[in-house]
């Protein structure tokens, strides 16, 4: 800091009686300080052309009442009293929309529209082509990831255009770009990763639901959900990542074991979900089982995966011959292919959910009175081309028994026959319903990030809405309750809501096991209209 004080030569006393003009200018102040003295008592300078320069190095050396020191303190105080307004983040600044030509060019050049034969896979590709920074990461780390997961090290570009595995390198790269890494600041990377984990979470849930339903044919869904949480809950995912030696790809600069939970678990959960979304899109569900149980080493029989001890109802009913005397392993589920003349799309899963003893209900009042109305509303039975007419007849009989099981409330027979209720079908139906809706939203909203899709998914499939879709078709009238529950529910609709939601999900589970995923889509978007976009019928008064 430099302080300059010029003194002009004073005039002779005989020439004027005016006071001298003293001015101080400082580098830290934007205004000048002028002082006028009434009766100056300044001695006459010895030299008429005298100029004095004063330099202050630090404000601490200045006198306590110095004007320069006071000015500096005042300027420092202003910094804290009235700080500058923060500039709003860029995402809140409105930008002019793209014109039609640029918008069409961006969509047509996007990789999301490059695969017409695989619409779901195409919708999960990045919205713009990978740049040099993306390819640098792939050259450095992708071989390590593929080796840890047990995939060939050759580039996936060598596969043919009709093979979805051709896009595996791109999706695998997106899977590891979690929201806490450097590359996630790029829009197409951030959106591509979030769309993958949005799909992957429902893939994991459905895969473990199908496996546990077949492995434990007598168990209720409550203990199964506890087993699933112990296998893929976010608290336990870092253990599986470390078992597969993938932690250095997620935390390249940190030791995962030394991180606290809130810094360790969210990135690991995001990467695991996105990883299984990529594997499902490129290789299908069998490869999901291989990575889960072979690469990660998950064991449903481990001590920490066992459900809590609870009072078990005695199950005196038979199970299917396929499950008698042995436990289904993950290799059996992954390698299982139904025979050509099978009654159902997923015959073993149907046998795991619909007990053989249900045939005793054939010919009862519900079978004669309610079943035809339910089948007419749902559009059953579907037209199938079977070589043998008896196969069609047998499928329709089993379909009728499955529908009766979907409408059997646990209060009716569960205490004597624990599996004579809709609980197991509801469990698989809830998972396939989530996956079908996720695939629908991904293909419908190509530019939407995963968090937005997650919120949209949740709002469409809320439990109160699922029950409402069923009630709009007047199918809640056919649910079979015990007499005590029937009296309690008769005048209280809120008590009935969980039951109608469960029946809705059980119907989806039955359609998945009998006819496959395509029929679940038909029920959700054509019969029940989950998205509420179809025009309503106008009644003539």
Q: Kindly state the percentage of the chain with pLDDT values over 90.
A: 53
Integer Cα distance of 162 and 86 in angstroms: 52
3-4 and 33-35: which strand pairing?
A: unpaired
Question: What pLDDT was estimated at residue 61?
Answer: 66
- Find where tokens 């791109």 sit: 170
Token pair of 429, please? 């139906």
Using an 8 Å Cβ cutoff, are 145 and 246 in contact?
yes
- Find where tokens 């919120």 sit: 455
Average pLDDT for the chain:
84
* 37 φ/ψ sector (left φ>0, alpha ψ -120 to 50, else beta): beta
pLDDT tens per residue, range 260-275: 999 999 999 999 999 9
Integer Cα distance of 157 and 147 in angstroms: 17
Using an 8 Å Cβ cutoff, are 22 and 9 in contact?
no
Mean pLDDT of 373-401: 92
Q: Kindly state the percentage of the chain with pLDDT values over 70.
A: 82
Mean pLDDT of 227-248: 93
pLDDT tens per residue, range 276-328: 999 999 999 999 999 999 999 999 999 999 999 887 788 878 888 888 888 89
pLDDT tens per residue, range 401-445: 999 999 999 999 888 888 889 999 999 999 999 999 999 999 999
pLDDT band at residue 6, thresholds of 50, 70 and 90?
very low
DSSP symbol at 4? E
Is there a cis peptide before residue 381, judged by omega within 30 degrees of 0? yes
Higher model confidence: residue 330 or residue 19? 330
- What DSSP letter does each residue of 8-44 carry, written as one string? PPPPPTTT--PPP-EEEEETT-SS-EEE--SS--PPP
Identify any residues that bridge with 3 across adjacent strands, giving them in sequence order.
26
Between the CA of residue 442 and those of 192, 241, 302, what are the distances in Å?
A: 11, 27, 36
Question: What pLDDT was estimated at residue 440?
Answer: 95
| Cβ contacts of 424 within 8 Å, gap of 6 or more | 213, 220, 221, 352, 353, 509
Token pair of 20, please? 């001298």
- Rounded to 5 degrees, what are φ and ψ at 314? -70, 125
Token pair of 455, please? 């919120």
Integer Cα distance of 344 and 515 in angstroms: 6
Alpha helices in 24-98 (DSSP H): 67-81
pLDDT tens per residue, range 213-222: 999 999 999 9
pLDDT at residue 122 above 70?
A: yes
Using an 8 Å Cβ cutoff, are 456 and 194 in contact?
no
pLDDT tens per residue, range 493-519: 788 888 999 999 999 999 999 999 999
Mean pLDDT of 127-134: 87
Higher model confidence: residue 98 or residue 172? 172
Question: What pLDDT was estimated at residue 57?
Answer: 46
Integer Cα distance of 341 and 322 in angstroms: 17
Question: What pLDDT was estimated at residue 14?
Answer: 46
Stretch among 130-134, 182-186, 229-233 having the lowest mean pLDDT: 182-186
Q: Is 237 helix (H, G, I), strand (E, B) or coil?
A: helix
């Amino acid at each position: 800091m430099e302080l300059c004080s010029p003194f002009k030569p004073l005039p002779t006393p005989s020439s004027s009686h005016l006071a001298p003009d003293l001015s101080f200018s400082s580098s830290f102040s934007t205004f000048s300080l002028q002082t006028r003295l009434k009766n100056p008592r300044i001695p006459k300078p010895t030299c008429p052309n005298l100029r004095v320069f004063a330099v202050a190095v630090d404000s601490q050396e200045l006198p306590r009442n110095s004007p320069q020191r006071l000015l500096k303190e005042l300027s420092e105080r202003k910094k804290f009293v009235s700080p500058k307004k923060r500039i709003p983040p860029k995402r809140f600044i409105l930008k002019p929309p793209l014109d039609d030509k640029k918008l069409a060019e961006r969509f047509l050049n996007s990789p999301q529209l490059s695969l017409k034969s695989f619409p779901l896979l195409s919708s999960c590709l990045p919205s713009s082509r990978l740049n040099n920074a993306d390819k640098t990461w792939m050259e450095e780390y992708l071989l390590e990831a593929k080796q840890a997961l047990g995939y060939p090290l050759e580039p996936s570009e060598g596969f043919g255009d009709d093979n979805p595995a051709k896009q595996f390198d791109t999706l695998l790269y997106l899977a590891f770009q979690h929201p806490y890494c450097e590359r996630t600041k790029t829009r197409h990377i951030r959106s591509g990763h979030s769309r993958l984990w949005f799909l992957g979470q429902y893939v994991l849930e459905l895969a473990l639901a199908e496996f546990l339903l077949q492995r434990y044919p007598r168990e209720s869904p409550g203990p199964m959900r506890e087993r699933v949480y112990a296998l893929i809950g976010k608290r336990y995912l870092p253990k599986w990542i470390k078992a597969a030696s993938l932690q250095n790809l997620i935390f390249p600069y940190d030791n995962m074991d030394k991180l606290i939970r809130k810094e360790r678990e969210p990135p690991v959960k995001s990467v695991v979900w996105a990883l299984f979304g990529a594997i499902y899109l490129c290789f299908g569900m069998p490869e999901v089982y291989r990575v889960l149980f072979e690469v990660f080493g998950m064991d449903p029989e481990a001590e920490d995966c066992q459900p809590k001890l609870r009072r078990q109802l005695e199950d005196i009913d038979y199970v299917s011959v396929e499950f008698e005397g042995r436990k289904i392993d993950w290799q059996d589920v992954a390698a299982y292919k139904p025979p050509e003349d099978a009654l159902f799309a997923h015959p073993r899963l149907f046998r795991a959910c619909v007990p053989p003893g249900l045939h005793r209900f054939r010919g009862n009042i519900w079978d004669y009175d309610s079943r035809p109305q339910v089948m007419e509303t749902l559009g059953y039975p579907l037209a199938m081309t079977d070589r043998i007419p008896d196969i069609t007849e047998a499928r329709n009989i089993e379909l009728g028994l499955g529908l009766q099981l979907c409408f059997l409330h646990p209060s009716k027979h569960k205490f004597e026959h624990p599996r004579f209720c809709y609980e197991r079908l509801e469990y698989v139906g809830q998972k396939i319903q989530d996956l079908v809706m996720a695939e629908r939203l991904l293909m419908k909203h190509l530019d939407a990030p995963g968090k937005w899709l997650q919120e949209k998914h949740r709002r469409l499939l809320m439990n109160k809405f699922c029950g409402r879709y069923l009630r709009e078709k007047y199918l809640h009238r056919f649910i079979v309750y015990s007499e005590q529950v029937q009296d309690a529910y008769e005048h209280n609709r809120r008590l009935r809501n969980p039951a109608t939601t469960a029946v809705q999900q059980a119907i989806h589970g039955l359609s998945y096991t009998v006819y496959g995923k395509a029929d679940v889509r038909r029920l959700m978007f054509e019969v029940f209209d989950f998205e509420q976009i179809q025009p309503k019928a106008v009644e003539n008064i």
